[in-house]
């Protein structure tokens, strides 16, 4: 994005291939950004790592499907009546 800058504090002790900053996937880091600030003259947003752990709580990945309808991509597209799909 033109006019935007990214400033990051990186640790080389944490390795990640994930492109974690949406819209800045083309950036390459020598390690993992513990904090980064994206912005321009009009606004800025800072993201800061609060903790790093060697374990993952599997319950964090369970999705509550209440109120949603499971459908195929074809069913989803048909539900829009051809609007843009």
**In the chain, where the domains are located:** 1-49
Going by pLDDT thresholds of 50, 70 and 90, the confidence category of residue 1 is low
Between residues 79 and 82, the one the model is more confident about: 79
Own/partner contacts of 59-62, CB < 8 Å, gap of 24 or more, are: none
Residue 85 has pLDDT above 60, yes or no: no
Span 13-34, pLDDT tens digits:
887 765 666 666 777 777 888 9
At 2 the pLDDT is 73
What residues have CB less than 8 Å from 49, skipping those under 6 apart? Answer: 33, 34, 35
Query: What are the distances in angstroms from CA 73 to CA 12, 78, 79?
Result: 40, 9, 10
At 44 the pLDDT is 93
Full-model pTM: 0.52
Task: Show the tokens assigned to 76.
Answer: 């989803």
Residues in the chain, overall count: 85
């Amino acid at each position: 994005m033109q006019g935007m800058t990214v400033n990051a504090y990186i640790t080389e002790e944490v390795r990640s291939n994930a492109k974690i900053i949406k819209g800045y996937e083309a950036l390459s880091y020598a390690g993992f950004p513990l904090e980064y600030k994206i912005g321009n003259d009009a606004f800025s947003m800072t993201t800061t790592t609060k903790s790093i752990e060697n374990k993952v709580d599997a319950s964090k990945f369970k999705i509550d499907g209440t109120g949603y309808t499971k459908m195929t991509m074809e069913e989803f597209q048909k539900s829009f009546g051809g609007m843009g799909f």
